[in-house]
Structure 1
């Protein structure tokens, strides 16, 4: 594929991730030209809570290219809404046999009118691992998110919206009812989730019984978790969001969380993954 055929982030976000990494790692063009092909030169980028300027990003890219090592890129999930996108992917560098250094990345991006990336917020965490997709099925860019089937009816006057109508409502309700001692934990959970819903929190997979136990323990410790939602996206039955919270409501102890999820046809959540900003403990 020649340069003119490379997709912009606005045209195909998964394609942009593949093309940018291919050009940055395996390409021979100057890194500056590669970066500016896909990103605005004066765009803003935050990685693990810190602002990275263009020179720092280019320095990291040069260092990776200088290794002369192959790479593996697995895109796990993409959600696009208008000029914004969110994605989860793993970037791996094979080291010895099937052992590799893997970096798990979650990114929220905003695209400029010319299709290039203008802003990103990213969580990035490196770990040793095995060559491969880490047990997840690679994202198929031809498989669009499922359209809403049998959407929940509009709420009655004065009633709260269902989670399917607003990802931000889901997050606020999840924490508000989950840690409200006046609402039974099972009731709080079942309002928002299907019985077989899967939760991944800080890398730990949990099902209904595990989540209920965690809520009970949090209530005993007096956790409250007020939620400040920064950004939400929804595409069909998938959603993604960025928000901040702290277990005691103190803004100075807030952690940022990136979340990716999937709604069931009845409007409840059937899969949700909470990615914590590196350096913080579990939600």
Structure 2
């Protein structure tokens, strides 16, 4: 019994079981009897640097937030919606749901990018988090198809996202402002026609994305892209980047963008969840 207890007191190895690691950390922090500080330190190095919603966040503040949730003793559901591991880097998308009244729920969705230290603990992270109300069960296809396409064969065509994620981010952005290429072709070069695209929780159909390209061209909007992190594991991918308007006046805000998605067999994006936040803290859709 003592050996089992000691084993359960340690988190799963993050590189091998990212979903298990996140579940261990959240469940122990919210429901456990151990000091929250000890749980935090078992998963993070002492000198780890963390940024949440574009602002540095200290260990003391995160520990305080976790302790406050524990004191509420509120029932919750944790959904690990996607995870991508490449080398010493990890991206994970998950949501915490708690009941409010009848079928009304509060859903807090997170996308986190972590870098691992030599001992396997998190040595740095950049994350985005947003809460909102939903009615009934969440309508998130990633919950239903978790793992279904991750290990399927990928025969990425040249120039598709599956060929190079970073190039896709730059090229898609460049072609958005290139009026010599039809807006429909811009979208379908990089995405399947029926791609499930969600930006800040709002479902975007192909027609919505094409219309957005046309609006950007009409307004003369263009952005430069600075890619900070790209990961790919099988058909799963994640990217973190900044979009800066090239026109100072009327060009729109600078955007911090977090993407987690899946690739079709030809290398195009078939599912994409994006959380983007402006430099002022707004959540454009």
With the length of structure 2 as denominator, give the TM-score of the two structures. Answer: 0.88
* CA distance 1:135–1:150, shift in 2 (3 Å): closer
- The answer to whether structure 1 residue 38 and structure 2 residue 36 are counterparts is no
Q: Deviations over 1:190-249 (max 9, x none)?
A: 222222222222322122222111110110011112111111000111111001013445
1:10 is aligned to 15
State whether structure 2 residue 217 is matched by structure 1 residue 219.
yes
**Do 1:92 and 1:131's aligned partners in 2 also have CA atoms closer than 8 Å?**
no
User: In the TM superposition, what is the alpha-carbon distance from 1:11 to its structure 2 partner?
Assistant: 2.9
C-alpha change, 1:137 and 1:228, in structure 2 (3 Å) is: closer
Q: 1:190 aligns to what?
A: 188
| Counterpart selection for 1:83 from 67, 88, 91 | 88
Q: Any conservation in 2 of the 1:226–1:249 contact (CA below 8 Å)?
A: no
Task: Determine the C-alpha separation between the residues in 2 that align with 1:177 and 1:253.
Answer: 20
The residue number in structure 2 matching 1:280 is 282
For residue 259 of structure 2, what is the aligned residue in structure 1? 259
Can you list the C-alpha shifts for 1:150-203, whole angstroms capped at 9, x where unaligned? Answer: 343xx5xxxxx4321111111111110022122221222222222222222232
Matches within 5 A, 1:166-177: 166-177=164-175
Q: Which runs of 5+ in 1 are unaligned?
A: 156-160
Distance 1:193 1:135, change over 3 A: closer
Structure 2 unmatched runs, 5+: none
Q: Secondary structure at the match of 2:97?
A: strand
Partner SS for 2:134: strand
The aligned counterpart of 2:268 is: 268
CA contact (8 A) 2:176 2:216 kept: no
State the distance in 2 between where 1:96 and 1:201 align. 27
TM-score for the superposition, normalised by structure 1 = 0.88
State the alpha-carbon separation in 2 of the partners of residues 218 and 281 from structure 1. Answer: 18
Does structure 1 residue 165 correspond to structure 2 residue 167? no
C-alpha spacing 1:142/1:185, structure 2 compared with 1 (3 Å): closer
Equivalent-residue separation in structure 2 for 1:139 and 1:21 (angstroms)? 21
Structure 2: how far apart are the matches of 1:7 and 1:37? 11
Specify the alignment match of 2:235 in structure 1. Answer: 237
Q: Tell me the alpha carbon deviations over residues 81-118 of structure 1, each in whole angstroms, 9 at most, x when there is no partner.
A: 11111111111222333333221111111111211111
Deviations along 1:96-147, whole A, 9 cap, x unmatched?
Answer: 3333322111111111121111111111111223464444453787767124
Query: CA 1:144 to 1:45, structure 2 compared with 1: closer, same or farther past 3 Å?
Result: farther
User: Aligned match of 1:113 in 118, 125, 139?
Assistant: 118
User: Distance between the aligned counterparts of 2:148 and 2:190, measured in 1?
Assistant: 26
CA contact (8 A) 1:86 1:106 kept: yes
